[in-house]
Structure 1
Amino acid sequence: MKKQAVFKSNPVNQLSLANENIEHLLSLCKQKNQTAQFEVYQRYCKAMYNVALRIVKDEHFAEDVMQEGFLRAFLKLDDFKNEVTFGAWLKRIIINYSIDFYKKNSFYNHDDFETKAFKIEQKEETDDSDYSTLKVKEIHTAMNELKENYRLILNLILIEGYDYEEVCEILNISYANCRTTFSRAKESLKTKLEKK
């Protein structure tokens, strides 16, 4: 049974806010307007749920993480300075909370990133066009079979679209480790996909 959403809808007020732009909704949210908060939640919840699910790998936990992430975002709304889009800012909160949640509630070993000395290997980039015909489900399944640090870094870079510097900041790892781990994760994924 799915957990009830944190936010309650007021159908009368909801209709009047459905066509509002996000800037106006956020100004209302800063005034603790629950109808505006619900509208923002409705607009972003599916995408943020998918972000959380890719990291925590459990539907129920992903929903909890997503809702907690929204609560944190609404509490920190004064920190949002329009330097990026609201969706990107919210996504970063969801990702950070998902990673924290996952580390605390799994056998994931964060030390894998920093305790192993990696030597960056200078390799030619492989042509990823071979994977274009593979089914998304096969790739998703193969990614979930990877070591946790590989799965996480592939999700952040390939699916969430973060660059190396952002991933280094999110995971608190060095640039060299980020590049090497990503390279090894891609090789590991490629190997798994070739076996299927």
Structure 2
Amino acid sequence: METNILHTHKELVEKSKSGDRNSQYQLYELYVNAMYNVSMRMLGIKEDAEDIVQDSFITAFKNLQSFRYECTFGSWLKRIVINKSINHLKLKKIALAPLENHEYYICEDINEPIENMDIHKIRAAIKMLPHGYKQIINLYLIEGYDHVEISEILSISGSTSKSQYHRAKKKLIQIINTL
């Protein structure tokens, strides 16, 4: 029996669309922890992440009629959480430093083998990154967005996304080496 991943939890989604509170609660229970983790990686503050997740679920349930199974419900919800997290950071005026008007050099020969490092060390180093770098690292490495998607999400150019990522990676390796 072949299943279509885009229709994961379709029955719950359809019942939720019709206003079934029990189905909405079941969807909430299925996704709340994952969405909290996404927001927490972006914001780094427990209370802010909790608020963003609650607000994201409210937004998702209010706009559920617009969900058309072009992606999974989880990825649709994740996009809402990421956008709300980024908007929250923008409200706090924690923005990416625009690099288009600056000279910068990217060293491509970083020979440090990250795969052999302790995951706790890497997580600690990510937390120590400046917020703009942390956003890029989270979106690119952890959430799996490409630079085109990141440029759309953050309203920056693709080249800024790429250069911020390379600078963030270099800074991350420097921090890891000092831990």
Give the equivalent residue in structure 1 for 2:160. Answer: 177
- Cα distance, 1:113 vs structure 2: 2.9
Structure 1 residues 162 and 118: CA distance shift in structure 2, 3 A? farther
Residues 118, 167 of structure 1: CA spacing in aligned structure 2 closer, same or farther, 3 A cutoff?
A: farther
Identity of aligned residues (%): 34
Bigger RCO of structures 1 and 2 (CA < 8 A, at least 6 apart): 2
1:149 corresponds to 2:132: yes
Give the TM-score of the pair, scaled to structure 2.
Answer: 0.88
Aligned residue number for residue 75 of structure 2? 88
- Give me the whole-angstrom Cα distance separating, in 2, the residues matched to 1:120 and 1:74: 44
* Matched positions, count: 172
CA RMSD after TM alignment: 1.9
Question: Which blocks of at least 5 consecutive residues in structure 2 are unaligned?
Answer: 1-7
What are the ranges of 5 or more consecutive residues in structure 1 without an aligned counterpart? 1-20
Task: State the 1:162 CA deviation.
Answer: 0.7
Per the normalisation by structure 1, the TM-score is 0.81
Partner of 2:53: 66
Asked if structure 1 preserves the Cα contact closer than 8 Å seen for 2:96 and 2:132, the reply is no
Cα offset for 1:125? 5.8
Cα distance in 2 between the residues matched to 1:79 and 1:125: 46
Aligned pairs for 1:1-196 (under 5 A) are 22-104=9-91, 106-108=92-94, 110=95, 112-113=97-98, 116-118=100-102, 121=105, 124=108, 126=110, 130-196=113-179
